[in-house]
Structure 1
Amino acid sequence: MLYTVAVAWLLLYSVQALFFSLVFWRRAQVQPAPAAPPSWPMVTVQLPIFNELHVGRRLLAAVAALNYPRQALHIQVLDDSTDETTVLLKAEVRRLQARGFQVTYLHRDDRRGYKAGALAAGLAQTGAHFVAIFDADFVPPPDFLKRALPHLLADPNAGFVQARWAHLNATYSGLTGAQALALDGHFVIEQTARQQLGAFISFNGTAGIWRRACIEAAGGWQADTLCEDLDLSYRAQLLGWRGIYRPEIGVPAELPPQLLAFKRQQFRWAKGSVQTLRKLWKRVAWGSRPSTPHGQPTRSPLRTRILGLLHLSGYAVHPLLVLVLLLSLPMLWLGPATQPSVGLFGWASLGPPLLFALAQRHLYADQPGGWLRRFAYFPGLMLLGIGLALNGTQAVIEGLIGRGGAFRRTPKFHVKQQADAWANSPYALGLDWTTAGEIVLALYALTAVVVAVWRHSLGAAPFLALYALAFGSTAAVGLWQAGRVHMRPRHPLVPPRLAR
């Protein structure tokens, strides 16, 4: 019964993926952009940074290149760094100030509140009514503000506008290709379908603009979850503010080339999402909110509430995957009466590949090589999705039992082409305990394969073999990359090409 419940729960997320794909296929269309205003308002661009030797200057250069009236553009460098990044950023700020830019450098002696704390501290130092946010690994295009801001100016009930994440290094490796495929599924299909359905959408922490009044009305940036962006976007929409997603505005970013860095990023997202679920599930489930930020209370449609709860609980997939594996072996051992239902598990795996394929077809149908070349990373994404289940399970458990926690940044290395190196960076990560756990789970899955064959449950063997391959390959890549880190000499703390 427990196995069936776990697989049925997984099937629910798969059905959601199928539903979003259908909505996108039938309804998706680019809405016309509002007209530009007669004059552009003051915008503060906040750049939260922590130890970013490799990409900090790239970010500042991109923001300085924004096509926006200089007198209406205010840049805040929110630097919590504890290494020589501070030296590089201060020098770059001085250069920009000498060129006539309004740039403020804010450095905190402690990281209280982490990113949420830095954003709140910066907001207190500006009077701008609109705030754009870019993480250090993003490179906003010059026309970003003029394309995104009119959506907020045209709708006084719009609290934030979120752009689509694009990729600087999707073809750098199989790992970055798989990540790009996953992110495209979220940004092209899921976010678009949510908006079409009138459901809650998420602010993804970067590549977006907030209305200051919305931030303040929703309670400001709060650090009791590791996903301060998801938390604030839900609190704002629960008050009746609208979130606007614009898929046609792409903002490229660097994908983590190191598996351990990607695991750290996914751990933070999983833990923070579960913390947000703990914090807001009652308000989302009840669904009472004003029809506008100043209107009378109404109740959200049941569909909106269900989609919101599924959204916030999405990382439950990880412990469910681990539970299905752990239960499979004893069920096979006990005999035919308790053998796992392969058919149900098979149905639970159909939704995501269709969603990812549709996203690639939408984005890359007209590019050389076509969308199938991008979708070819799907087998790697499938292995990665299962292989990270132990890492995600730990994050979900921690999110269920605790608030806040250390905000461990995702290292960035300024890699775009295959010739670019990252292993000799001081930010490259070492192994953690989950690699050993992945090896154990791979061996456990192999044992289950042997038992499945012995018990003549041949239908279950391929799924269990997929588990073994996923956990085994995840552990192998982690070990191989960690070996490269320990064998290569490290860069000096300030690389010469950045110190110049």
Structure 2
Amino acid sequence: MDGLWESFWAIATWLALILTATSLLAWAVTFGSTVATFYLVIKHWRLREKGLAAEQKALAQPLPPEEDLPHVVVQIPTYNEGAMVARALDAACALDWPREKLHIQILDDSTDGSTLFARQEVGVRQARGCNVELIHRTDRSDYKAGALANAMTMTPHGYFAILDVDYVPERDFLLKTMTCLLADPKLAFIQARFDYVNGEANELTRTQAVLLDAHLAIEQATRCWAGHPLPFNGTCGVWRREAIEAAGGWRGGTLAEDLDLSYRAWRIGRRGSFLMSVPVPGELPETMKAWMTQQQRWTKGFGEVMLRLLWPILGDASLPWADRWKAAMHLGVWWSGLAWGVALPTGLIAILLGSPLRWPLAALLLGQLLIGYVALFVFLRAGNLSLRPGRTSLRQFMRDFFFVSRDLFKIGAVIGPAQREVIFGKRSEFVRTPKSAVVKAG
């Protein structure tokens, strides 16, 4: 019996050591993500004044004479969203650009009868003199990437403004984005900033607005100003055809075709630029189910691109080490959520099994939980203060932060399975975020 107990404790000791090592490795990943968060916040405030000044200078550049302006194709992908096509067409037709040089494509992959409605709306705008065409596919191959790539083959023009059907640009959207794009021939694309037509609809939309404000201000703007890889957000931007083709075109091998193309363009020296002062209002999901659908696709798509591109980037000797590190800091953050799911259970089991490092391990895990929570608060508040200064008191923001924390906990229910599907290479359908066709305020 004594020998049996000795064997049991020997196995438990070895298991505790293995779990301790696993927990510490996962903890290091989460700690690295926290450090990266603080780094971006500090970098943002150091670069903000200069970055915004440079943006205003770029926007102040003169456009070429009207006769020398290029043709621009506005691409509006849609899938079973017929109720939103009319509003999207109204906004696109109202864009301030020479009529004979503005071309609008409705990229319709619908399967629910929305195509008939979209065709009617297109006909109405054609009768008004707008250059609009409906491009309907029946196979939906490669999803949104396939629709964009297919539509490119149907026009010879060199600039493509991409607007999801739920986004409503202001009249001067093309004037501002094309001013910056034409002023710098090295730019592959210009990304405008998301805004929200329903940001105050309920607690969930306020949660999303807080999260997206931080992403746009602290992540997107800072990466642009600091010369880091800038991912395209899939909508509210304008691409050069030449850059798309040089980077290998739109590809449907992942659920994040925008991130995939951005990095392929970046690897060949074609960067993007972000305009924080050019908002484009769009619709936020108003139900938890709709938001979960969106977050599952975003999480999985980001992970698929990370697995596809991170290791080749790290091994690309043609890229400076600094650039490889910047890409790793961005793409590698995908592992942080998964690492938490490993660090906590393995650490707790190791502690229960009597790990010789149980107290240091417990202190590290508890400390990282607290620091990570602080980092999230700092990140979100910095985005709020930078993008909407004076709009939200600290007391109100703390209330918003409570709901953000609660909703992020809920969203873990779909993020975890999506991450596991990425690791095991399970493909899934591109599921569009459900929309409600809210009307733009004002």
Tell me whether the two structures share a fold, i.e. TM-score over 0.5.
Answer: yes
Among candidates 258, 280, 298, match of residue 251 of structure 1 = 280
1:408 aligns to what? 431
Letter in 2 for 1:393: G
CA distance in 2, matches of 1:390, 1:173: 21
2:400 aligns to what? 377
TM-score (norm 1): 0.77
Deviation at 1:386, TM superposition (A): 3.0
Q: Is the 8 A contact 1:365 1:371 kept in 2?
A: no
1:458 aligns to what? none
1:422 aligns to what? none
CA distance in 2, matches of 1:390, 1:4: 24
1:202 matched to 2:231? The reply is yes
Q: Is the 8 A contact 1:14 1:350 kept in 2?
A: no
Alpha-carbon displacement from aligned partner over 1:83-142 (angstroms, at most 9, x marks no partner): 131122111100110010110101011111100000001000011110000112211111
Q: State the secondary structure of the residue aligned to 1:48.
A: strand
CA distance in 2, matches of 1:105, 1:53: 12
- 1:22-421 aligned at under 5 Å gives the runs 22-28=42-48, 29-30=51-52, 31=54, 32=57, 33=59, 34-39=61-66, 40-289=69-318, 299-302=319-322, 304-327=323-346, 329-331=348-350, 333-334=352-353, 338=358, 340-341=362-363, 342-367=366-391, 370=393, 373-374=396-397, 376-402=399-425, 405-415=428-438
CA distance in 2, matches of 1:258, 1:332: 40
CA distance in 2, matches of 1:242, 1:323: 35
Q: Higher mean Cα deviation, 390-399 or 65-74? A: 390-399
Letter in 1 for 2:22: L
Q: State the secondary structure of the residue aligned to 2:433.
A: coil
Letter in 2 for 1:48: P
1:16 aligns to what? 36
2:23 aligns to what? 3
CA distance in 2, matches of 1:326, 1:308: 29
Q: State the secondary structure of the residue aligned to 1:146.
A: helix
Deviation at 1:348, TM superposition (A): 2.9
Deviation at 1:397, TM superposition (A): 2.0
Consecutive unaligned residues of structure 2, counting only runs of 5 or more, are 1-20
CA distance in 1, matches of 2:261, 2:110: 24
Q: Which structure is higher in RCO with an 8 Å CA cutoff and minimum separation 6? A: 2
2:6 aligns to what? none
Q: Higher mean Cα deviation, 125-134 or 311-320? A: 311-320
Q: Higher mean Cα deviation, 257-266 or 376-385? A: 376-385
Letter in 2 for 1:217: A
Q: Is the 8 A contact 1:47 1:77 kept in 2?
A: yes
Alpha-carbon displacement from aligned partner over 1:118-173 (angstroms, at most 9, x marks no partner): 00010000111100001122111111000001111111111011111111111111
Deviation at 1:323, TM superposition (A): 2.3
CA-based RMSD of the aligned residues comes to 2.1
TM-score (norm 2): 0.87
CA distance in 2, matches of 1:211, 1:336: 57
Q: Is the 8 A contact 1:177 1:374 kept in 2?
A: no
CA distance in 1, matches of 2:192, 2:76: 16
State the aligned residue count.
407
- Relative to structure 1, the CA distance from residue 263 to residue 103 in structure 2 (aligned partners, 3 Å threshold; closer, same or farther) is same
Consecutive unaligned residues of structure 1, counting only runs of 5 or more, are 290-298, 419-500
Q: Is the 8 A contact 1:11 1:349 kept in 2?
A: no
